[in-house]
Amino acid sequence: MSAAHIVAPSKIQSELNDLWSSMENKNKMRASLFNLIFYTKKSPRDEYIRRITQKIIEKFPARIFFISTDTSSTEDSVKTAVSIMSAEQGEFDVTCDFIEISATSASEYQVPFIIMPHIVPDLPIFLLWGEDPAKQSPLREQLEKVATRLIFDSETAEDIIVFAKSILAIKEKSKCEIADLNWARLESWRDLLTAIFNDTNNFNRLKKVHKLKIIYNAQETPFFCHTRIQSIYLQSWLASRLGWTLLGSSLEGDSVCFTYNNATKNKVDVTIESQRHSNLPPGLIVSLDLADGENETFHFERNIEALNEINCSYSSSVTTTIPTKLLIAKGESGQSLVKEICHKGTSNHYLEIVKLLSKMESSGIC
Amino acid sequence: MSKNSSHPLEEPGMSSRFMEPCILVIFGATGDLTARKLVPAIYNLAREGQLPPQFACVGFARRDKTHEQFREEMKEAINSFSRVKPIDENLWSTFKEQLYYHKSEFHEDEGYDRLSTFLTDLDKKLGTKGNRVFYLSTQPSYFTTICEKLHKAKLIYEYENSPSWSRIIIEKPFGHNTESAHQLQSELLKYMDESQIYRIDHYLGKETVQNILVFRFANSLFESLWNNRYIDHVQITVAEDIGIGTRGAFWEEAGFLRDILQNHMMQVLSLVTMEPPVSLEARAIHDEKVKVLEAIRPFSREDLDHAVVRGQYDKGIVNGSKVIGYREEKNVNPQSAVETYVALKLYIDNWRWAGVPFYLRGGKRLPKKGTEISIFFKDPPCVLFQHPGMKNEPNVLTIRIQPDEGTSLKINCKVPGSSNFIQPVKMNFRYGKYFGMAPPEAYERLIQDCIYGDNTLFARQDEVFSSWNLLSPVLDHWANNPPKDFPNYPCGSWGPKSADDLIMNDGRKWRLL
């Protein structure tokens, strides 16, 4: 990434033009497939959002607007800077415009006016809102009006149930596509389970499941402190797909328990348990066990030496299979994550889990 | 030479046109337009050898000034506003000798007599042969007075039987409604022939506006789709980020509809929608423009409430700076009901355009400057590539008139990879990049055309009347129903909410510039 040039808002375009003129004959290719607006409050997490930016442009170059708000300042001032961000891949370096806007709480109202003239027409506008959507934000409401896709990160949620209600409310009034980073991170698990239970026999076994246990990495980092969300999403997805009815939820130490009635009115117990691995990404699902009342068990366990490997085994009272090694996409950094964020429409499965979560009592499960 | 026959040295069908010697007289020579546009345009024509060898420009205004003072002011103007800067001193030393100043009141007979003598002397000195272009860059209320006085001083010649020619360029607005436009026309016809009147609309001098006809009729690809079978709707936007500046008094009289929509936007609309002319002769093009303007469905009483939206800017932020609202501007009534924004929907009831809505919008103090035409094509008939919960974007052809002149086409494209995700991408043609030169200013082309006697790029009387016929009822309706919500959009926004509602109620949305 080139050094940031601090400029007045009125000089953003001319400064970018100058920057690009200086790049001529340097094997740089200017590209933009969409407008990508990031918003975050100034915090250590800011750095994490920048990393996501880098990942996205490695796959899909975009004109990037990076808004950060310093909530500790009371000044009514906005600083703008421009630079060129590089995908740093290949002989021809694909590069993008990077427009940085540093605001304060008092000056946030100016931000849409600064961004609006610099949107690349005709291209989609993605808004990655790096804050809890449950909190009212006039800035978000303004940006939502022009966005074609809203990307939220449930990691920012103070309460996942309130978050879910907010997502539904936003979906109700906005015509935008909605994506969620944590839902996107689960894509590899969803694909794997879909593949395993694709045949009728296995799916019938899945329908009879009475116990579901998920173990996840509860090791927090400065960027991640709600490590349980992916696991909650995964069990909610299974529950909604299998037509389970929620009976209750409870928090027991580090574990969360959910109780459902399945489609045949039999009880299903779901347990989400934590482990701590400092070398694994926070929130990562380490293992998944599905068991029915007749000692039939599916066991999925991640190889913590090779994170895209899942060992899968099945056992019953009469048979045990040799564990099979399955490869899954690298959900954290791969193209699939970016595609999930940027190109898929609003997932109905996601909306169903959000609906399910929104019906829960707020009990501090996350 | 007579007006219509070609020069014996001119080869028919070839591009060269013969420019006859002449004197250009600018009325209102101390005004903004002269300094910002007209004299820089004449200078650039001289710089590119596009003026007749025998040529002079005389500034006519009320202030006391010597030729030398006028020249110095114009030099400064060229240095500030010319598209090519700084001024070429060598060229200037010759060019300045062609600039003169004449002081007179617009209503003073004696001033015109002195002008006549002065011009005759210049003819003798420069060989300009009595040919005249009178450019009326004054307030509209002076138009008839000036023409009457010019006629009285025998400076406007008979069109048919005179060895020399005289032409009048009239700035917009031509009237302020249907009635006043007719009245002005009948006044002017007392002193001259219609063919001597050049109603200037500088939009028509822009390269990109001229390119509309080339784009449509020199490319079979687009013209074959240019109809209601393939086009869903059309948007025409004229956005300005600036406010009204020092023109408060003018705006209080005019407003956006009269200043921009009635002329520039309606002209652009007519070029986008007209049928192919039988030739590139001025008359053939004007005839087609009038036909399509007359095919626009008049606004019903209900349309006036729902299909036309007006707005006025409130304080806000443009280009990162806080700016004041319209009612705080100098020479503006603090309770003003004048519109600085208009959006409307109209239909053209002819074979080609039946059922296709045209959305026009424009305003002051919007987020960015930009004039463009966007053609939204209908969705393809099948839904092969419709991802659940996701609708593909329509193809959009955008003709950018200013700035960044050019054309872009939005098409859907497969995202690389194994899945069938589709994303809109843009093919972009940019005049500046492709031809590598700044296009001439609109005024250069138009002044040159007037000297040639070619009125293709000027508005004909019936075009102006058709446009007023459509829009005068809107003005009447507004006059009878003062706005209740002004100011209704902050500076730096894309206009009032009612303008969004206008298009969103039809399931569409304004294109972001």
- Chain B residues lying within 8 Å of A335, measured CB to CB: 417
Confidence of residue B98 (pLDDT cuts 50, 70, 90): very high
Q: Quick check: pTM over 0.80?
A: yes
Identify all chain A residues contacting B410, using CB atoms and an 8 Å cutoff. 122
* Mean pLDDT value across residues B31-51: 92
- Nearest by CB: B390 against A10, A78, A177: A177
Side chain identity, residue B307: A
Q: How much is the pLDDT for A158?
A: 83
* pLDDT for res A327: 80
Task: Among A110, A124, A346, select the one facing B424 at the smallest CB separation.
Answer: A124
Q: Please report the pLDDT score of residue B145 as a whole number.
A: 94
Closest-CA residue to A342 (of A70, A6, A34): A34
What does the pLDDT look like over B111-148, one tens digit per residue?
999 999 999 999 999 888 999 999 999 888 899 999 99
Select the more confidently predicted residue: A265 or B10: A265
In angstroms, the Cα distances linking A33 to A63, A119, A125, B415, B503 are 8, 12, 10, 10, 26
Question: Which residue's structure tokens are 């009325």?
Answer: B27
CB B492 within 8 A of CB B315: no
Would the pLDDT of B76 be above 70? yes
CB neighbour class for B390 (10 Å; exposed up to 12, middle 13-18, buried from 19) = middle
Beta strand B99-103 with B55-61 is: parallel
For B221, half-sphere exposure in the C-beta direction (CA atoms, 13 angstrom radius) is 5
- Over chain B, what is the mean pLDDT? 90
Contacts of B387 in chain A (CB under 8 A): 344-345
CA distance B492 to chain A (A): 6
Would you list which residues of chain A are within 8 Å, Cβ to Cβ, of chain B?
Answer: 8-10, 33-34, 60, 78, 80, 110, 113-114, 116-117, 119-125, 146, 177, 335, 339, 343-348
Q: Which residue has the tokens 């409307």?
A: B344
Residue linked to tokens 């910002």 = B36
B469: Cα within 13 Å, side-chain hemisphere: 14
3-state helix, strand, coil in chain A (%, to 5): 35, 30, 35
Looking at the complex, does the CB of residue B414 fall below 8 Å from at least one CB of chain A? no
Chain A residue with CA closest to B424: the answer is A123
State the pLDDT confidence band at B424, using cuts at 50, 70 and 90.
confident
Burial A210-242 (b: 16+ CB within 10 A, else e): eebbbbbbbbeeebbebbbbbbbbbbbbbbbbb
CB of B512 within 8 Å of any CB in chain A? yes
Q: In the predicted model, is pLDDT for residue B157 greater than 50?
A: yes
Of B437, B413, B461, nearest to B183 by C-alpha is: B461
Minimum CA–CA partner of B369 in chain A: A117
Q: Give the type of residue at B131.
A: N
For A30, B144, B359, the CA distances from A89, given in Å and listed in that order, are 13, 69, 44
The per-residue pLDDT for B246 is 82
For residue range A78-111, list pLDDT tens digits in order: 999 998 887 766 556 778 899 999 999 889 899 9
CB contact under 8 A, B492 and A116: yes
Which residues in chain B have their CB less than 8 angstroms from residue A339's CB?
Answer: 415, 417, 419, 421
- Chain A residues within an 8 Å CB radius of B393: 124
Q: Do A347 and B321 touch (CB under 8 A)?
A: no
- pLDDT at residue A44 above 80? no
Most confident among A171-175, A276-280, B40-44 (mean pLDDT): B40-44
pLDDT at residue A287, rounded to an integer: 92
pLDDT digits (tens, 9 = 90+) for B158-172: 888 888 999 999 988
Q: What is the pLDDT of residue A71?
A: 86
CB-based contact (8 Å) between B310 and chain A? no
Whether the per-residue pLDDT at B422 is higher than 90: the answer is no
Residue B93's pLDDT band (boundaries 50, 70, 90)?
very high
Nearest by CB to A345, from B390, B511, B513: name it: B390
pLDDT of residue B1: 46
DSSP one-letter string for B282-329: HHHHHHHHHHHHHTBPPPPHHHHHHTEEEE-EESEEETTEEE--GGGS
Average pLDDT over residues A340-356: 81
Model confidence at B389: pLDDT above 80: no
pLDDT score at A101: 94
> Which pLDDT score is estimated for B511?
93
Residue that wins the pLDDT comparison between A46 and B183: B183
Distance from CA of A1 to the nearest CA of B (A): 25
Please indicate whether residue A318 or residue A329 has the higher confidence score (pLDDT).
Answer: A318
Average pLDDT over residues A160-169: 90
Secondary structure of B377-417 in HEC code, one letter for each residue: ECCCCCCCCCCCCCCCCCCEEEEEEECCCEEEEEEEEECCC
Top mean pLDDT of A168-182, A187-201, B130-144, B433-447 is at: B130-144
Q: Find, in chain A, the residue whose alpha carbon is nearest to that of B497.
A: A145
Closest chain B residue to A111, measured at CA: B320
Chain A residue nearest residue B513, CA to CA: A121
Q: Which residues of B have a catalytic role annotated?
A: 264
A184 contacts in chain B (CB < 8 Å): none
- Band (B22; pLDDT cuts 50, 70, 90): very high
Q: How close B77 comes to chain A (CA, Å)? A: 24
The band of B320, judged by pLDDT with boundaries at 50, 70 and 90, is: confident
Interface contact flag, B317 A117, Cβ < 8 Å: no
Distance from CA of B466 to the nearest CA of A (A): 33
User: A199 CB contacts (<8 Å, ≥6 apart)?
Assistant: none
**Cβ–Cβ under 8 Å, residues B494 and B381:** no
- Interface probe with B: pick from A101, A108, A113, most Cβ of B within 10 Å: A113
For A259, the token pair is 């109780």
* Arithmetic mean of pLDDT, B401-409: 89
What residues of chain B lie within 8 A of the CB of A127, using their CB?
none
pLDDT of residue B2: 46
Greatest Cα pair distance, chain B, in angstroms, is 84
Residues 448-507 in B contacting A (C-alpha not used; CB under 8 Å): 492-494
B316 touches chain A (CB under 8 A): yes
Contacts of B421 in chain A (CB under 8 A): 339, 343-344
- Of the candidate ranges A4-18, A77-91, B48-62, B166-180, the one whose mean pLDDT is the lowest: A77-91
pLDDT at residue B41 is higher than 60: yes
Chain B residues whose CB is inside 8 A of the A90 CB are: none
Supply φ then ψ for residue A289, to 5 degrees.
Answer: -120, 135
Q: Is the peptide bond before B403 cis (omega within 30 degrees of 0)?
A: yes
Residue B272 at interface with chain A, using a CB cutoff of 8 Å: no
Residues of A in contact with B424 (CB under 8 A): 122-124
Q: Does B33 touch chain A (CB under 8 A)?
A: no
* Closest chain B residue to the Cα of A62, Cα to Cα: B425
Nearest Cα of chain B lies from the Cα of A123 at a distance, in angstroms, of 6
Q: Which of A113, A122, A335 sits opposite B424 (nearest CB)?
A: A122
Write down the mean pLDDT value for chain A.
84
C-alpha A338, offset from chain centre:
10
Q: What is the pLDDT of residue B3?
A: 47
For the segment B238-278, what is each residue's pLDDT rounded down to a tens digit? 999 999 988 888 899 889 999 999 999 999 999 999 999 99
Our CA-based measurement puts residue B425 at a distance from the nearest CA of chain A, in whole angstroms, of 7
CB contact under 8 Å between B423 and A9, yes or no, is: no
pLDDT at A331 over 60: no
The predicted structure's pLDDT at residue A293: 75
For residues A357 and B324, the model is more confident at B324
End-to-end Cα, chain A, rounded Å: 36
pLDDT band at residue A362 under the 50/70/90 scheme: low
Does B423 sit within 8 Å of A124, measured CB to CB? yes
Banded model confidence at residue A295, pLDDT cuts 50, 70, 90: confident
Cα torsion angle, B454, B457, B461, B466, sign = positive
Q: Which of A12, A14, A115, A116 to mutate to test the interface with B (most CBs of B within 10 A)?
A: A116
Chain A hits for B426, Cβ within 8 Å: 120, 122-123
**Cβ–Cβ gap A116/B494 under 8 Å:** yes
CB pairs under 8 A between A and B: 79
CB-based contact (8 Å) between B318 and chain A?
yes
Residue written as token pair 């946030």: A108
Which of B70-79, B378-387, B439-448 is predicted least confidently? Answer: B378-387
